[in-house]
Amino acid sequence: MVQLDVALFLVRCGMVTSPSADAALDSLAYFTEHPGPVERPSAGQELCISPPDDHYWNDVLERYLQLYPLLPRVLTRTKLGNVLLHACSLYLIFEPEAQARQVFLRIQFLSTNSNWNQAARFAVMINLKTNTRHIFNQFENFALMGVRDGFVLMSAPEHNRTFTLMADGLSYALDYAMTVDQMPALLANRSILGLDGRRVEIANYAEFPFLMQDRYQTTGIYFHFFNEFARKYNCKVVFQPRDVQIVLTLYNREFLSKTFAIGSFTGNCLVVPEKPKEGLIHFLFSPFSAPLWCLCGCFLVVAFLLNWRWTHNFPNNILLTVLFGDQASDDAYSPPERRLIFLAVVIMFFFSEAYSAKLLSTFIESLNQPRIRTIEALASSDIAIGVLHFEDIEAYEQLHHNVLIVDEPDYYDNLRHGRHAFMVQCGNAELFLHLEMRRQDSEFRVPYYILEEFFGWRMNGFSVSKFSPVTMQLHQFIGLVGQAGLWEYWRERTVQTLRYIVNRGLIQRETLNLNDLISLQYVLIVGFGSAALVFVTEVRCTFLDGGHDTTPFLPAQTFRMLIAVASEEG
């Protein structure tokens, strides 16, 4: 027959107090009067309480609330959604007989409320557990929800004790205090541990100058920041593509993450391919329009017809006379020829001057090809903007008719050949233009430039999962870094190399080189080649005639004079 322990029964019914209840109250009072390393609210503490349904713990809670009647408090055991509530700096969760799984669900419900704060101090009140595994499971709940400052108060009325339990680090080695006098040492052990070598997973999204990765090293502003963070708080940072706690951008989904801005802004830039320069034939024909070239052709046809069909009125070659001057004495030209040649010379003068001026301006303009400068000008052009997903540019309606949605292989092939523009973060655009395009092994065959007008302003920063255990430490460290001016220092260190490359390119820039004069080289080669061919032909014809030509051309006379001088000297 089991004997009834009347004293224990009275304690459980809340009719009398017990040393274990007093110890539990003292521990809660110590937590309240000595808040954790979280920023203290103006009221000192703001309580979030999940009330018990047990007489023993209900008595402890009533005595606690009587002890601190002025502290703001929220009593809830379930989801409240977006209801405006006091922020929480101390959670008191009473689950005397619940299993660890039920406690996890309770904390998960509380995390959906607008006042969720995993950086606060958590105290879970339970009754005595004989199996240590049940206690370890409680601390696993804290790890899953990103709670670092979590404690378990386990009541043992049979021993007149309430144990305050704490798990040291990832190994869950239990440390405990039985009296309030041992609490300072217990909390000191927690502060020494820091983050106890935890892994902090960060998305390795490349964005200049914040994070850059290549085959050999990682650098950037965030790289320096998180390295110093790991050194201060005793943790390990890992950059990986998925399963991360920190994303290096500001998300609007604040119900899933907490955002941290670093005090600077960026935007999206459009990188546009330069139009390739046309060839020699284009430049030679570009000064005149097609109708004007047709008019010139008509003049040539008329000149040939006049010399061919009306030889007795136009005995001299009109075209040669207009181009190279008189082909005979003045008396040999008839009055109709003189009038026609005069009119043709006047027209030829205006045409030649207009052609030369237009050709020169076209050459100069080709050296400094005008670029598109505004989004409006780009939208009105025929330049396509390549994207992999329409969501990337959905917000920019004025560019929708320029959008070209392609598959990933075609997208990168089009980039290499300059078939379309693309949108990218402005820092990455500068890195691409000044570094990637200058590489000797660059795969890009067309030069690009950045549109001067950019869009999509946003603040620089990163988002941390609401269940990450490093949120509080990040909040503290960002404040220290900002006060020390390290954001600007790390930025200058990162962009220094790129700035040096840009300045060196401006100093060594050649405004005119041999490639720009290729069209002139073609003209000179054709001109000198034709002159040399005519000279050789004339010399050959003169020697074949055996000197019977009584009126030789100037090249033949010159050649004969050179031969005579050489023979006299010999």
Summarize pLDDT for 115-174 with one digit per residue, the tens: 888 778 889 999 888 887 888 888 888 877 878 788 888 988 777 888 888 875 555 567
Percent helix / strand / coil, the chain, rounded to 5: 50, 20, 35
Domain 18-191 has CATH 3.40.50: yes
- What residues have CB less than 8 Å from 531, skipping those under 6 apart? none
Least confident of 211-225, 364-378, 445-459: 364-378
Bridge-partner residues for 50, per DSSP? 93
Identify which of 53, 92, 95 has the alpha carbon closest to the alpha carbon of residue 73.
Answer: 92
In tens, the pLDDT along 469-511 reads: 787 788 888 888 988 889 888 888 888 877 776 666 545 555 5
Strand-pair category, 212-213 with 218-219: antiparallel
pLDDT value for 89:
83
State pTM to two decimals: 0.60
Q: By percentage, how much of the chain surpasses pLDDT 90?
A: 2
In order of 173, 285, 363, 387, 526, the CA distances from 357 in angstroms are 88, 13, 10, 43, 21
pLDDT value for 310:
75
Q: Is the pLDDT of residue 11 over 70?
A: no
> What pLDDT band is residue 549 in, cutting at 50, 70 and 90?
very low
Contact between residue 466 and residue 116 where contact means Cβ atoms under 8 Å apart: yes
Q: By percentage, how much of the chain surpasses pLDDT 70?
A: 78
pLDDT value for 225:
92
pLDDT value for 514:
64
In tens, the pLDDT along 223-234 reads: 999 999 988 888
Mean pLDDT (whole number) for 325-343: 71
| Burial class for 196, CB neighbours closer than 10 Å (0-12, 13-18, 19+) | middle
pLDDT value for 553:
45
